[in-house]
Every structure is written in C-alpha cells, then in structure tokens.
Chain A
Amino acid sequence: MTDAASSPMLEIRHVTKRFGQLSAVKDVNLAINKGEIFALLGGSGCGKTTLLRMMAGFETPTEGAVLIDGQDVSNVPSYKRPVNMMFQSYALFPHLTVEQNVAFGLKQDKLPKAEIEAQVHKMLGLVHMNEFAKRKPNQLSGGQRQRVALARSLAKKPKVLLLDEPMGALDKKLRSQMQLEVVDIIESVGVTCVMVTHDQEEAMTMADRVSIMHDGEIMQIGSPSEIYEFPNSRHTAEFIGSINIFDAAVQHVSPQLSQFSCPDLACTLSVEGGTNAVEGAQLGVAVRPEKILMSRGQPQQANNWVKGEVLDIAYLGGHSVYHVELDSGKVVMATTTNMDRHEQRLTWKDEVYLYWSASSAVVLYQ
C-alpha cells in the first residue's frame, strides 16, 4: 500500500485519552521512523507515560488510532502486539532465573527449545550477562537487572521497543554509563525505540529526536540540538536547560535582522533573521546563559548588552553560573568556563557588563 522505506514504523493519529473528566493526552500526532530512537520528554503528569502505555496496549485511546508498521493496533491487546517494553521497575519475574526471564516471551511463541536457548544466549551475550544466567533477579545489582530487562524486551525481536524511564532506577554515575551502552545495544539491534523520560539530559544523550510534552500535548519535536537551540515556545525553552527570557516589543524587522525594544535594556535587542511578527507585537527574546559573555568594561557593540551587579555565584567546578541583577531588577544567568586555576574571577557585588551576539538569541512567539 505505502512505500515501506518512507512509511513510519509507529504512528499516532489524533490520539486522545480521557480518564473521566481528565484528558491525559490531547489530540497527539506522531510519526516515528524505522530504526529511530525517539524520546517523549516532559514533567510528571504531562501524559507521556499514558501515551507510551497506549503504544504498549495497556491503555486504549479514547479517540484516534495507534498504527504499528502501517497496521491499526488500537484495539489489539498488548499480548498480540509486536511491541515490547522495558519497565521502569524492570518488572523482572522474581520467581524465574535470568535466562528464564529472557526466555519467557520466546516460550509464548512456541518456538523449538534449541532456538529459544540460542536466542537467550545471544541476548544475554548482547548485554554481557551470560555468566549470571542462573541467578534470580534479587541476586543482581540495579545495573545488572536493567541489562536483563533490556535483553528480555529485545529477545522477541519487537518492531518497536518501548523504554519507560529507562535510567530511573539507577544512581547518577551508573546512569550516564548505561545511557550510552543502551543506545549502542539498541542501535546494534536496529530496533525502533520510543522512550519516556523526565530527564532532559537522558533524552538528549540517547534520542535521535525528542518531543516535548506538556499538559497532554506535544509542544515541539526535533533533534536535541534543534530543541535546545531553537525552542518554539517559552515552555520548551524553560524546560530544556536554563534560559533568560526578555519581554520585548518588535521595533523593526528585516529579513536579516529583527530589532526589539526591551524595558530591561538601555540598548536595542537584535536577533539574527527575520520574524513574521508585526511591529509593536510583544514577544519573548531568549538567550542561553552560556551564550552570554561578561566583562568589567563596556563592550564594543551597540546592541545586546546590559549592565548589572553580581548577585550570586554557583561554582560548579567546570563552570560557574553567575546570577546578575540588572538595574531593572531582573536577574539574568550567565555561565563561564573555569579555564584558568589562578584567574581573578568576578565576585559578589561586582559591577559587570553582559553582552551577546545577535546570532545567540532566539525569538519565542508563545
């Protein structure tokens, strides 16, 4: 019917899910390509888990359809879907050994015993857990359990792999190590993967594309760098990383440069590129803290600078975050990399000039 190469592996069409009066997911549309790692990112209660559970078949959509490989599976129970999930708690069967856990799904397909054994061995090899095959889940560490859970969810060669907060149960150090390892494994298998997380770092490290969810709706979809560098709304901008947003009015627009007036700044705010807003419109102009430079003397540029006083410093080792209070009372964050160990750094109460280039700022319409 459709071209296999171009049709998405997983499609969400106008899906709405209501629990009583509450709408957990509101008219969501998504198309996830074959072999892609896709992250649903959002705070708690944003509907990301409900959406994932509808993909797995644990919930049925109130409206709309879920399509896997072109087939409508909206009313197909989870045990008949070509989808496997790695649960947040891993949900390993405590009464079964590691290899029995991995074999569990294969047994349901009534495969010959030798084939099951071979596949279990292959999967445990993939996650480097073959030597723990005879152990019970409670004899494993958190990281080992996750490996087994991953092996179990990959064993049936699902068309789509679902990960629910994959690193949620691990401590921070193990987390960053496992993030890359899990991505390597998923990519080596070549499975399409949808993950749910509230941790932006995790989403950006692991996923090819990220969608930001808020209040049951998808705010923005894009690659991690698109989402970070070109947020399309205040919510996305504030959710991913930290950002300074200036409330500004459109002054002059040309295709190369847009200019804004802002009550916090004495000079004009300029942003590279045109906008489709009319003059006088109230918008947000956002600048990430790492794109703001600081100096003691007044910068040599006409636009995009402001004077303030250092209010607070967060020293984080590799870099420091300065909170600078402007004359208007607004607090702006700026980060500097601590390159020199003996450098005379700015300190509390210092007067400081903040400046940035027109290409660093981004216009937020909503």
Chain B
Amino acid sequence: MSKLGVRSVIAVPYIWLLMFFLVPFLIVFKISFSEMQYAIPPYTDLVTWADEVLTINLNLGTYAYLINDDLYIRAYMSSVRIAFFATVCALLIGYPIAYAIARADTATRNALLMLVMLPSWTSFLIRIYAWVGILKNNGLINNGLIGIGIIDEPIAMLNTEFAVYLGIVYAYLPFMVLPIYTNLVKLDNSLLEASADLGCPPWKTFLTVTLPLSKAGIIAGCMLVFIPSVGEFVIPEMLGGAETLMIGKVLWQEFFNNRDWPVASAVAIVMLLLLLVPITFFHRYQARELES
C-alpha cells in the first residue's frame, strides 16, 4: 500500500478520537478554568473582547478549592480504595473462573463463556436495580433468611459499602474473566507437562508457570475493572446510600445539583490525571512485553 493509503487508513480512527475525545476533553479542561455564573452557559468565558481590550480570565481558584475542601480529597481516596479492593476481589473470583473455562473442553468452554457474557445483554441499570431488590431489608435474601428462621431481624446490606463492592465485582467480573481467559487459553499445555516432568507438583506449576505466564491477562483485567470503578456513579448511587463517598457521585452533584460546571470539570480533570498513573504503568508494561 502507498504511504498515502496507509496514512488515510490510520487517519480515520485518529480523526474519530480527535473529534469525539480530545476536543470534548479540551472543552472540559477549558471550563475548569472558568468561573461559575448564573447564565447560559453557566460559566464565564476564558477570553473576552470588550472595548478593544482582550482579557484572558484564567481562574485557578477551582483547583485550589478542590485541594482545600477535604470532601474532594476524601472522595478521591475513598473511590481509589473501593476500586482497588473491588479489583482485588474481582481478580480472586475471576481468575479461577477464567482458569476453569480455559481448561474445559471446547464445547463446554463456549457455553461457559456465553454464561459469563449473557448478563451484559440486559441493561446495566436494570441489573444494578435488581440488586436493590435482592439486598434491601425486605428483599430476597433477608426475607428468605427470616423465612427459614436463621435470623429474626433483617441484616442491613443495602446502602452499605459492602453492597457497593458486591455491585462493582458483579458488574465488572466479565472484564476480569475475559482477558485472563484469553491469556490462559493460549497457554501451551506442554509447558505444564514440562514443569511436572521437571519435578513440580501441580500447585507449584501453577505458581511458577501458569501465574507468571498469565501476568499480561491479569494486568489487563485489573485495568479494565479498576479504571471504570474509580469513576463509577450508578453503583454507589443505587447501592451505596448516603454514606458511601465516591468521586462519581460528587461529580454528579456538582454538575446537576449545584450546577457548578467549573468545579465539576475540575473534578473530572483531576480524576483523569489520577487514572493516568495506572494507565501509563500498563502501557509501559505492554511496550516492554512487545520488545522482548
């Protein structure tokens, strides 16, 4: 293919990303430096032209406000903490699932993969709402346990952090299972046999061969769960109740309840910077793997 041909093929996704990712991002970035005002749009212009004077109003106050008000710092910390532990839980549950699917014979394998993906055919919102019905005080679990006489009083599960963990692990589990599965299914069985041949019992083979060779899948799965979990809004909103503090909820409140677009934009920008850390780490790792 000619150089022009190659460039025009690459250009399509680049233009797409430019139009629908970079430009909106720059708009949000711009808004984060403006001031709130009661108007349409609800923020001041960065650049004004009046009386033949060009004024640039760069308001850094919003960022200073984010640092000074500990609500935001606490929300970020709590989001990262919840996303981190939820990712660990998803890994601990997802890895054995992926392993079992990869080890199953081809016919069952496809059926099992189908079962992992099947829930995603229903709306995310509806599935999370279903958990409300399961977890609430007169919900499925509590009524069931009271019915068979194990407990007298309902256990408070809804509107707790536990429910948020449950929701995140439940919703993002396929994103953990699939990359690990893709990795494990490629694992050459003769490597496991070689390990056994050289004196490793099965558990040791798992630790010394299977686990290191599925590292790329584990990292990809963790990224796919961790990154969206940090900014998750629906799950903490519906399952977490008032006490669960997550940055996604804060962002929603700033934007819709307070109509403070500059603060909401700044919150979003800081979250993005926060997520750049694991993303860069991931890319570094991928680049290193490709090199060797």
Contacts and interface: CB of A to CB of B under 8 A. Distances in A.
A91 B189 CA distance: 9
Interface string B185-210: 00010110111111111001000110
Contact of A87 (B190, B199, B204, B208): B190
Interface residues of A, number: 28
Question: Which of the four size classes fits the interface of chain B?
Answer: 10 to 19
Given A108-B204, A152-B198, 15 more contacts: A79-B199, A79-B201, A83-B197, A85-B193, A85-B194, A87-B190, A87-B193, A91-B190, A91-B193, A104-B195, A105-B197, A108-B198, A138-B292, A156-B198, A156-B199
Nearest to A88: B190
B147 interface: no
B198 to A, nearest CB: 3
20 contacts: A56-B197, A57-B196, A58-B196, A79-B199, A79-B200, A80-B199, A84-B198, A87-B190, A89-B190, A91-B190, A91-B191, A93-B195, A94-B191, A104-B198, A104-B208, A108-B198, A108-B204, A109-B199, A136-B292, A152-B198
Contacts, number: 63
Interface of A: 56-58, 77-80, 83-85, 87-89, 91-95, 104-105, 108-109, 136, 138-139, 152-153, 156
Q: Which 8 A-B pairs have the closest CB atoms?
A: A105-B198, A108-B199, A91-B194, A91-B190, A78-B196, A79-B196, A95-B212, A87-B190
Contacts of A77: 196, 201
Interface string B204-223: 10001100110000000000
Q: Counting chain A CB atoms within 10 Å of each CB, which of B197, B200, B208, B292 scores highest?
A: B197
Contacts of B193: 56, 58, 78, 85, 87, 91
Main secondary structure of the interface of B (DSSP, over half): helix
A156 B204 CA distance: 18
Given A87-B190, A89-B188, A94 B198 contact: no
B160 to A, nearest CB: 41
A55 B213 CA distance: 28
Contacts of A87: 190, 193-194
Contacts of A156: 198-199
Nearest to A85: B197
A94 B213 contact: yes
